[in-house]
Amino acid sequence: MESTGLCDICGKAGAMYTCSLCGKRVCQLCVTVGGVCKYCVGGKSISEDEKIVRERVLKEKGLDPRI
């Protein structure tokens, strides 16, 4: 689901994307091609369970989960 508003990561207007892992509303600069926010791609601020899910989703999308 896409919505507009403030980016949950950088705070700028124009959050048109939703991270497929954590659900944060993010702008074009804070989302990756795979639809994952830059925090989840980097593994920041997520629990061990979320890391397992993140790795599985990134592998399914053909992205390297070790980034």
Domain that residue 49 falls in = 1-67
Helix (H) or strand (E) holding 51: helix 48-60
Q: What pLDDT does 66 receive?
A: 66
Low pLDDT (below 50) residues in the chain = 1-3
Q: What pLDDT does 67 receive?
A: 54
The domain tally of the chain equals 1
Helix (H) or strand (E) holding 26: strand 25-26
Q: What pLDDT does 65 receive?
A: 65
**Helix, coil or strand: residue 41:** helix
Radius of gyration of the chain (CA): 11
**Helix, coil or strand: residue 31:** strand
